[in-house]
Amino acid sequence: MALSNFVYSSFLFSFVYSISIPPSILEEPDSDIIFDSRLNLQLACLAKGEPTPIYTWTKNGYLYETTEQNNRVTMANDSGMLTFVQPQSIDQGWYQCNATNIWGTAVSRRVHVRIAELGEFPIYDRAQVIQVRRGDSLRIPCKPPISVPDPDIYWTDNTNSDNQIGFRVASARMQQDYDGNLYLINVKDEDEEKQFTCNVFSGKSDVIRRGSVTKLKVIKTEPTERKPTKLWSSEANKVFLKGQKLSLKCLFDGLPMPDVIWRKDNGDLPEQRSNINREKQELIITDLQYEDAGVYECRGHNELGYDGFAINVQVDAAPYWLEKPKDIYLVEGETVDVICNAESKPASKNTQWLINGVPLQDINVPYNPRRRIVRNRMIIQNVTKFDTAVYQCNVSNIHGYVFANFFINIISEKPTIKRGPETFYQLVEGQNIILPCETIGAPSSKIYWNKRNRIITSARYSISKDGSLTIPAAVLSDSGVYVCNATNKFGFDTRNTTLTVKQKTRIQTRPSNQQVRRGYQAIFQCTATADPSLTYNIDWYKDGELLTYTGRFIKDITDQNTLKIVDVQFDDSGSYICRASTELDFDDASATLIVQDRPNRPKITKVICNGSTDQPFSIVQWRGTGDNNARILYYELQYNTTFQPNDWISIPIEQRKESFSEIKSPDGSIKLEPKTITFNTTHIPSSQNDLSASLSCWANYTFRVIAYNRIGASDASPISDPLCTTRTCRPKTNPEGVKSSTAQSALLLIEWESMPKIKWSSPNFWYEVGWREYALNTSSEPFSTEIIYPPKYQFAIPNTIMNMRYQYYVKAVNQQTEVSNSTDAIEPPVYNIAFAGDSAPTYVPRNFRVLQMLDSTTVQFAWDPPLSSDEIHIRGVLKAYQIEIFRLDNPVKSRLLISDILPNQTSSTVFNAPPNADVGAHIRIETERYLGPTSPVIQFPTREGRPEPVTNLRGVPYTSNGIFLLWDPPDETNGVIIGYQIDYKPIESIAAQPGADQPSILLRDDARRNYLLSGLKPNTKYRVQVRPRTSIGLSTSPAIIELTTNLTLAPSKPTFTVTQRGQTFFNVSFDPTIMTIPGSVYYVQYKENDQDDQTTTFKKSYTVSNDRTILVNSLEPGKTYTTILIAGDGIASETKSDPQMVSTRNKGKF
C-alpha cells in the first residue's frame, strides 16, 4: 500500500484546535549539567500537544516527587521546568522529563546532574628544591586535586608577585604536558631565581588553587651539547571524535634547543583546519574528519641530529543524525515506514525503539502483529487509531548516543488553508515574490494554483512542498488574480489574491563625477522614471548617509532632482548617491566629488650650508604636506638675503627636453631627427625634494619653498632657520651694460649698470675704469685707470680728442677680509671701442643681396663688410646692422624690422618674411647713438606658405548628437586654399587635447564654409578646431571653439522651401539655424500623389549639398509628389515637417 504521510512545522500546529496531537518536546536540558551550589539550578522542559501535556520527572529511573524535597524544588505552572533552590550534593543524579497527554508520552534526553567541586593541594611547610645542572632538561610534576569539571592547569613564577597570582610560565623552553607537569627543555642560570607553582582553575566555581613552590638549584657546569631525545609526547595511539578538535604534543630534550616539525605519513596536513602553535610543539586540527586519521610524526632536530615519535590517530564518531525522524500524520489503513537514520563509528550494533518512553521489548507493551522492526526501520501496516502514540528511537555506541521523539497521529481531516496569501500584492518588475498557501488536512492536500481559470504549469513558476507559489523576476504580464486550491478525498479549500506588477524605477540621467575647487560650488543632477501609477522621490546620500538639505547642501526648489553644494569644503569629498524611490522599489546612481585646492604649504626639513669656501653652496631639503586632491606639478625654491629681505628670488635649474628637428631631404621629403634641448627653469619636478644651490660670497641667506598644482600656488613654507652665511671672496663678474656716449660736458662718457651688493663678495668694493687711445695701424698705449666707488656708475674720460678712437674697460675689484691685496673679478673684463664726439654715419653697406630662399618665409641675405677706409663714414663704433623687409603692395602695414645683427656678420637669415608675395628689403648700420642711411631696395618674390587660421569660427548644437560648424576664410591665405581639416574630441579634463581620439575630417572643397559633426555624445562638451590648408600644409595654429551638445531631445518640426524644379527633379532647401532644436541628420521622403493607390510607400533622398539643399531626382515630368522633410538626431528620434505637394515641370516647358 502506498505511503501517504506529511510533516507539519511546529508553528503551524499552534493554530489547529480541532485535531488531537500527541506531545512533542520543544525544550530540554543539556545532557551534562554541573551546578554551583551557591546558585539556583534550573532544568528546562517544554512540550506541545493537544490536549496540553502533563509533566513528570524521573531521577535515576524512579519517579521524582518535588513535594518530597522540603520546598527546595518546584515545578513551573506552564512548563515542566524544575527549579532547585540552593542545590545540594543529594540533588546529583540522572534526570529525565516526561510530557504526557491521552495520545502518548514524549521523553527528554537523560540528563546527568553533578555538583561542581575543586579539592585542595597537599600543604607543605617549605618549598621543594631540585638540583639540576646548567643546560639539562627537567620535569617538575604536578598532582592536581580532584575537580568537577576538569580544571585548567597552568604554572606560574611567583618570585615577585607578593603572594598573588604570579606570572604565567610559558615559552618554547618551558612547556607543560597534558597532565599538567612542567618541562624545562634546558635549564638556565636565571631559572634559579624563579618560584615555580602549579595552579588549577575551575571556571564553573570561579576558584583557583595553588600548589607548593618548587625552586631550582642550578649547578654551574659547562653544558654539554646533545642531539634531541623525546621528553614527553601524546600517547602512541589516540582516538578522537569526528567534528571535534585534535591536539597532539611532543616535547624534546636537546642542546641547542630543538626545533619541532610535524608531518603526516602519506598525506598533507589540512591547510585550512590545522595550526601549529608558536613554539611548534603542539599540532591542532579543528573540525576533525575521517580522512584526518593516520600516522602523525613529530620530529625534534638541532644541528647535532634529530629524534622522532609517531602517533597513530584514529577518528571515530559518536552517533549523529543523517535524517532525524519527523512527526507523521496518517489516515487509517495506510502504512508507515520510519527510518532512524544515524551514523556512527564504530557502527551501532542495533537501534533501540520505544513507545511512549517504554522499550518495545518491555512486557508492558502490548504485542502488535502489524508492527515490524528491521534494524533501524519500523514498519506499521494498515494503521488504526490505536497506533497513535509518541515513539522514540535511540542509536548508541561506545562514544555516546542520539535520541529522538516523533509521533504517529492517525487523523481524517478535509484541507484547511491556515496561512494563505494576502488579498492584494504590489511589486515592481524584476522582484521575486512568494505567495504562501500552507494547509492542514489528512490525507495530505494536493496543492495547485490557477491564473485566469488555467492551472499554472509553466516551468518559470515553482510550487514548494508547503504549497507556496514562487514567481522569480516578475514581469508586467505576471499581473492578475491567483487562486490557491487545496484538496484531498475529504474536501477542498481555496484562497485568492490579486498581484499587480509595476514598472521598475530607473535612473535616467546619472550624476557625473565632479572635481571642484574648495570654496566653489558643486552641482549633481539626476532624473528618473517610474510606473505612472507611482510617485517617486529623489533623495541624496553621502557615503551611505541620507543628506538633510540644510546649510550648504541645497535641493533646488524649482528642480527637485538637483543637489547643489555651495562653498564646498574638503570634508564634502566622497561618494554621492542619487536614490529614486517609490513605495515599492528604488534605483541608485552614484558619483564622486573630489574637492581640490592649492597645495598645503611645504615644509623645509633641512638646510646644509657650506659658506666657508670661495664656491659657497647650500643643499635645501623639503617635503610636501598635502596636495589637496590635485597632484603637485612642481616646486619653486626661493631665497632672499639681508641686502634685500623683501625680494624673494626663484632658483633656476637646468632641464633637458627631447625634441625633433625637421630635416628636408633633397627629394623634398621631411625626416624627423631627435635632438636634446637644454633650458633653464625655476620649476623643480614634484618627484624631487632637494636642491643644491650656488651662493654668492659675503651674504646671509634664508630659503622658502612653494608648491604648485593645477589650482595654483601654495602659501610659502616657513622661512628656513638659521641664516646661511658665506665668507668673502673675489667678485665673480664685472659690471654689465658698459657703454660710451657723448655728452655736453664730455666728448667720451663711460657708463655701466651699478652692481648690487650681492655681487660685491666683500664690503670693500670699487670699480676700475681703464682707457687709452686706440688708433689703427699704430702701437697700443698703456691703459690709464681710475677708481670709482659705488654708488657712482659713470666716468668722463679727460683730455679726449674729437673723433679719436679709444679702447676702454670697466671691471669689479674688492679687498677680502683679512687680506691686504685687492683682487679683480674672476670674469675677465670686456674691452670696448668708442669714438670721442661721434656723429650720424653716412656709410651704406655695399652689395646687399638675396643669397637664397630657404622656404616660403625664410630668406638668407648677404652684404660686403666695411673697409678700413670706411671708418670715417661710420663715425663711431659699428654696433649692429638692421634689415627691413616689406610687401611691395602694402609696405607700411607689412613692415618687419630685424635688428641686433652683430657687426662682424656679413649674412643673416630672416624667418618671418611675408609668404606668397612680392617683397622688398634694404639694410643699414647702427652705432651707439645713430642709424645710418638705408641701402637701395632689392625686390624678390616669396613662395606659397601655410595659411593663417580661419576667422569667425562658430557652431550650433544639433539635437543631441551633432554640431553644425560655420567659419570664414583666413585673413591671409598665404597661397591658394585647397581645403580644411577638422579635429574634435570630448573634453574630459582641462589638459585634454582635441583630435587624439577621433580621426581628422578632411574637406577638399576650398569653397566649403560649414560642416555638420554628427555621431556625438548627448549633453557632452566638445573642443573643435578647424584649420585651412594650402599645398604647403595646414595653418600653424587652429581656430578653436568649445560647445556642449544638447540633451537627448527630439528635433523641432522642420520647414522647407522648394528652390528649383525641373522635369525630373526638384530641390528642397532648409535652414537648421532657425529651429529651436535642430536636427543632425536631414533627408526627404516623397511619393507620387496617386489617389487610386493608397499603399504606395515613400522613397527617400539623402543627398545634401553645402547650401543645405537636398536634391530629389529620377522623377517623372508633370507629376505631383507628396514631399516631407525629416529632421533626425542620428540616434533614434525623428521629426517630420508638414507635407507639401511639389510638381515637376511638363515636357517641353522650361
Span 356-371, average pLDDT: 94
Residue 1006 is predicted with a pLDDT of: 82
Average of per-residue pLDDT values in the chain: 89
Q: CB within 8 A of 647, min separation 6: which ones? A: 640
Taking Cα atoms as reference points, which of 1105, 1110, 1107, 1106 lies closest to residue 1137?
1110
Higher pLDDT, 349 or 769: 769
If phi > 0 it is left, if psi is from -120 to 50 it is alpha, else beta; for residue 50 that is beta
Tell me the per-residue pLDDT of 156-202, one tens digit each, with 9 for 90 and over. Answer: 988 876 556 678 887 889 999 999 999 999 999 999 989 999 999 99
Domain 413-502 architecture: Sandwich (2.60)
Q: Where are the beta strands (DSSP E) in 789-856?
A: 794-796, 805-815, 823-824, 832-835, 849-853
- Least confident interval from 628-642, 654-668, 897-911, 941-955: 654-668
Class of domain 603-725: mainly beta
Whether 15 shows a pLDDT value over 50: the answer reads no
pLDDT of residue 267: 84
Q: 238-252, 621-635, 790-804: which has the minimum mean pLDDT? A: 790-804
Q: Which of 471, 562, 463, 475 is nearest to 521 (CA)?
A: 562
Is there a contact between 82 and 42 (Cβ–Cβ < 8 Å)? yes
C-alpha cell, 265: 605519513
Separation between Cα atoms, residue 962 and residue 1100, nearest integer Å:
21
Pick the residue with more confidence: 128 or 670? Answer: 128
Q: Which amino acid is at 852?
A: Q
pLDDT of residue 927: 84
Checking if the pLDDT of 618 tops 80, the result is yes
What is the 3-class SS of 491-532, one letter each residue? EEEEEEEEEEEECCCEEEECCCCEEEECCCCEEEECEEECCC
Helix or strand holding residue 874 (H, E):
helix 871-874
pLDDT on residue 205: 86
pLDDT of 658: 82
CA 141 to chain centre: 59
CA distances from 620 to 599, 634, 652, 705, 716 (A): 20, 16, 14, 9, 15
C-alpha span between 19 and 441 (Å, rounded): 9
Q: Report how far residue 236's alpha carbon sits from residue 286's, in angstroms, rounded to the nearest whole number.
A: 20
Q: Does 585 score more than 50 pLDDT?
A: yes
Residue with cell 560655420: 966
The 10s digit of each residue's pLDDT in 934-947 is 999 999 999 888 99
Other Cβ atoms less than 10 A from the Cβ of 965: the count is 21
- Tell me, rounded to whole angstroms, the distance of Cα 981 from its chain centroid: 40
Average pLDDT for 368-377: 93
Span of 162-176, 478-492, 749-763, 784-798 with lowest mean pLDDT = 162-176
| Alpha carbon 820 to chain centroid, angstroms | 70
- What is the phi-psi region of residue 72: left when phi exceeds 0, alpha when psi lies from -120 to 50, beta otherwise? alpha
Share of the chain above pLDDT 90, in %: 65
Separation CA 296–CA 247 (nearest Å): 11
Domain 123-315 listed as CATH 2.60.40.10: yes
pLDDT at 363: 92
- Cα separation, 167 vs 215, in Å, equals 15
Flag whether pLDDT at 558 surpasses 80.
no
- In CATH, which superfamily holds the domain spanning 10-115? Immunoglobulins (2.60.40.10)
Domain boundaries, the chain: 10-115, 123-315, 413-502, 506-596, 603-725, 739-835, 849-938, 951-1044, 1057-1143
Residues 6+ apart with CB under 8 A from 1082: 1054, 1070, 1072, 1104, 1108, 1110, 1125, 1126, 1127, 1128
Residue 163 has a pLDDT of 55
Confidence of residue 60 (pLDDT cuts 50, 70, 90): very high
Of 313-327, 627-641, 862-876, give the lowest mean pLDDT range. 862-876
Residue 995 has pLDDT above 50, yes or no: no
- Which pLDDT score, from 0 to 100, does residue 1017 have? 84
User: Spelled out in words, what is the top-level CATH class assigned to the domain 849-938?
Assistant: mainly beta
d(CA 619, CA 147): 75
pLDDT at 155: 93
pLDDT at 3: 28
* SS3 state of residue 387: helix
Q: Do domains 506-596 and 1057-1143 have the same CATH topology?
A: yes
Q: From the CB of residue 797, how many other CB atoms can be counted at a distance below 10 Å?
A: 20
Distance CA 1038, CA 1001 (A): 14
Lowest mean pLDDT: which of 52-56, 104-108, 772-776, 848-852? 772-776
- The pLDDT assigned to 347 comes to 94
What CATH number matches the domain at 739-835, 3.40.47.10, 2.60.40.10, 3.40.50.12280, 3.40.190.10? 2.60.40.10
Do residues 1130 and 1081 touch, judged by C-beta distance below 8 A?
yes
Fold exhibited by the domain 1057-1143: Immunoglobulin-like (2.60.40)
| Model pLDDT for residues 1084-1142, shown as the tens digit of each residue | 999 988 655 555 678 888 777 767 899 999 899 999 999 999 988 766 678 899 999 99
- 244 and 288 in contact (C-beta within 8 Å)? yes
The model's pLDDT over 514-552, given as tens digits with 9 standing for 90+, comes to: 999 999 999 999 999 999 999 999 999 999 899 988 889
Q: What is the pLDDT of residue 241?
A: 96
Q: Determine the Cα–Cα distance for residues 583 and 581; give it in Å rounded to an integer.
A: 7
The secondary element (H helix, E strand) that includes residue 1120 is strand 1120-1128
Query: What pLDDT is recorded for position 840?
Result: 82
Locate cell 538637483: which residue? 562
**Using 50, 70 and 90 to split pLDDT, how confident is the model at 13?**
very low
**Distances 1058 to 902, 1065, 1067, 1122 between C-alpha atoms, Å:** 69, 11, 6, 12
Nearest to 1012 by CA among 1107, 1086, 1085: 1107
According to DSSP H, which parts of 229-357 are helical?
A: none
The answer to whether the CB of 555 falls within 8 A of the CB of 609 is: no
Distance of CA 142 to the CA centre of its chain: 58
Distance CA 159, CA 155 (A): 13
In three-state secondary structure terms, 434 is: strand
Q: Tell me the C-alpha distance between 73 and 87, whole Å.
A: 9
Q: For domain 506-596, which architecture applies?
A: Sandwich (2.60)
- Note the pLDDT of residue 489: 84
The better pLDDT of the pair 629, 442 is held by 629
Architecture of the 951-1044 domain: Sandwich (2.60)
Lowest pLDDT segment from 280-294, 346-360, 803-817 = 803-817
User: DSSP characters for 521-580?
Assistant: -EEEE-EEE--TTS--EEEEEETTEEP---TTEEE-SS-TTEEEE-S--GGG-EEEEEEE
Query: Could you tell me if 227 and 302 are in contact, meaning their C-beta atoms sit under 8 angstroms apart?
Result: yes
Whether 996 shows a pLDDT value over 70: the answer reads: no
Chain centroid offset of residue 61 CA:
68
Please give the Cα distance from 1101 to 1115 (Å, whole number): 12
Q: Check if the beta carbon of residue 612 is closer than 8 Å to that of residue 727.
A: yes
Query: How would you classify residue 1132: left for phi > 0, otherwise alpha for psi between -120 and 50, otherwise beta?
Result: alpha
Mean pLDDT of 705-728: 93
**Range with lowest mean pLDDT among 235-249, 660-674, 738-752:** 660-674
Instruction: Give the residue from 122, 155, 123, 150 showing the smallest Cα distance to 140.
Output: 155
Q: How do residues 444-487 score in pLDDT, each as one tens digit?
A: 789 999 998 899 988 899 999 889 999 999 999 999 999 999 99
Closest by CA to 440, choosing from 18, 984, 945, is 18
Does pLDDT of 990 surpass 70?
no
The pLDDT assigned to 16 comes to 38
Contacts of 228 (CB under 8 A, 6+ apart): 252, 253, 254, 258, 300, 301, 302, 304, 305, 306, 307
pLDDT computed for residue 668 by the predictor: 63
Cα gap 977→1005, rounded to integer Å: 9
User: Which three cell numbers, joined as nine digits, stand for 264?
Assistant: 603526516
